[in-house]
Amino acid sequence: MSKSLEHFLDEGLANLKEKGLYNTIDVLDSANGPEITIDGKRMINLASNNYLGFATNPDLMQVCNEATDKYGVGAGAVRTINGTLKIHEELENKIAEFKGTEAAIAFQSGFNCNMGAISAVMTKEDAILSDELNHASIIDGCRLSRAKIIRVKHQDMEDLEQKAKEAVESGQYKKIMYITDGVFSMDGDIANIPEIVRIAEKYDLITYVDDAHGSGVLGKGAGTVKHFGLSDKIDFQMGTLSKAIGVVGGYVAGSQRLIDWLKSQGRPFLFSTSLTPGAAAAAKKAIELMQEDDHYVQDLWDNANYFKEKLQAIGYDIGKSETPITPVILGDELLAQKFSKKLIENGVYVKPIVFPTVPMGTGRVRNMPNAAHTKEMLDEAIAIYEKVGKELGIIK
Ligand SMILES: *Cc1c(COP(=O)(O)O)cnc(C)c1O
């Protein structure tokens, strides 16, 4: 190994470990369902983003297998060579129909969708107004575009309006975009889409909503923008096929012109092999299930409301989430880590979330109750929360 690489790695790893930022990775020996096993130990799983339980849904598994039988395991090429199969087109049409837009484009992940879509439209002559708590993939996509990035205070619409006004009046930029998460993943708050639309119309902002945590959850599953009835007012409705949809992939839904542009300029679309046929078929089926039957989304909300009420009743601070994302806020970073470790030992799998993912002093564990949990599992989790919280003196 190169001496300089060796030095870089040794120093970097030691530094991470010293700061408590080095990730150890737990390996599941089961599917990522409502219960999981790790090293043979069964636990109630409150850590996944599998909102609707679709990751292990038998109907999705069946269409995945059927598409694999028909098309094979891989798409064989990038989309623009000959890796566009009928199932990709069917998936994109289904996404557009569900989102209420003219068209849609699918990418291989939500992360590379943000990398590809933002940089296909924004250039170094432009500016991007970006909520300070936006997801890492948005931040990286904005950087890649080389546009001027202007941070906007979290969900602060006065700050957005002020900064939009300044950017327009400066006359320095050809285009200005506002980009935001639809639902913020750490606190579960919902973007103020009506106010964003008003400001965007006043200052001619391009609007981009990353709905990774809103799709499958709000608007009868169709997402945050649909929840507010504003599907025709947001330019980019971006989402992922890996969270509520339960599979893998990302997409943008929008006007036909926008999608035509992204299909000729989105670099991951042009230079990275397309979604596997099985993944495309399963993702399409997930949307069909939501359209046919509202019980998946309903079960998610019932479980989330049930779980939140019980946690609050035994004395936990669960923040101000407006969605199923349920933080238990402890404040102290070390306590959050200790708490999660104890919960895991007792059979509830949850992860600590600390600085720099959330502000210093707001350390927490984050719970993601989903549609596949039974009331018995949630009750068992609550009993463990009560026991561990009392042991650590967090609740009385
Ligand atoms: C998870 C997430 C992504 C990335 O999606 P993947 O499909 O997992 O790559 C993008 N944006 C937000 C807000 C996310 O939470």
Per-residue model confidence as pLDDT tens digits over 113-155: 999 999 999 999 999 999 999 999 999 999 999 999 999 999 9
User: How far away, in angstroms, is 137 Cα from ligand 1 center?
Assistant: 7
| pLDDT-based confidence at residue 20 (cuts at 50, 70, 90) | confident
- Record the tokens describing residue 350, joined without a space: 């949850």
Helices (H) and strands (E) in the chain, counts: 14, 13
- Record the tokens describing residue 222, joined without a space: 């169709």
User: How far away, in angstroms, is 1 Cα from ligand 1 center?
Assistant: 34
Q: Could you read off the pLDDT of 100-109 as tens digits, one per residue?
A: 999 999 999 9
Distance CA 85, CA 279 (A): 12
Whole-angstrom Cα Rg for the chain? 22
213 lines ligand 1 (CB under 6 A): yes
* Angle at the Cα of 330 from the Cα atoms of 328 and 335, rounded to 5 degrees: 120
Closest among 224, 220, 216, 237 to 283, alpha carbons compared: 216
DSSP label at 23? P
Residue burial 39-58, b: 16+ Cβ < 10 Å; e: rest: eeeebbbbbbbbbbbbbebe
135 lines ligand 1 (CB under 6 A): yes
Q: Could you read off the pLDDT of 366-382 as tens digits, one per residue?
A: 999 999 999 999 999 99
361 neighbors 335 (Cβ within 8 angstroms): no
Whether pLDDT at 359 is above 90: no
Domains of the chain as residue ranges with CATH = 3-55+294-392 (3.90.1150.10), 58-292 (3.40.640.10)
pLDDT of amino acid 358: 87
Nearest atom in ligand 1 to 135's CA: 13
110 lines ligand 1 (CB under 6 A): yes
pLDDT of amino acid 352: 93
331 neighbors 362 (Cβ within 8 angstroms): yes
Distance CA 14, CA 269 (A): 38
